[in-house]
Amino acid sequence: MELNTPVPLVSRILVTIPHAAELLDLPKSSLYELLANGEIAKVKIGRHTRIPVAALIEYAERLAREAA
């Protein structure tokens, strides 16, 4: 892989809040509410907040189970 080749979003372990909102197809404000309520896990790296992709998958799977 070349250094300037962009990494596909889903190949990352952690994503930014805007990327996480895009993956869930939600407005950032809705994602912030989910984070504040503890419905989706987040991690802090210094002053930066990142969302584990695994947490997004778990959230989507939980919604699917509840809808079934």
Q: Chunk the chain into consecutive blocks of 10 residues (it has 68) and report each block's average pLDDT, rounded to whole numbers.
A: 56 92 96 97 97 95 92
Q: Is residue 45 part of a domain?
A: yes
Q: Is residue 39 part of a domain?
A: yes
* Torsions phi, psi for 36 (to 5 deg): -65, -35
Q: Is residue 51 part of a domain?
A: yes
Q: Note the pLDDT of residue 59.
A: 96
Q: Is residue 26 part of a domain?
A: yes
Q: Is residue 63 part of a domain?
A: yes
Q: Note the pLDDT of residue 10.
A: 60
Q: Is residue 46 part of a domain?
A: yes
- Here the tokens at position 42 are 């987040």
Helices (H) and strands (E) in the chain, counts: 3, 3
Query: What's the domain range around 58?
Result: 11-67
Domain count, the chain: 1
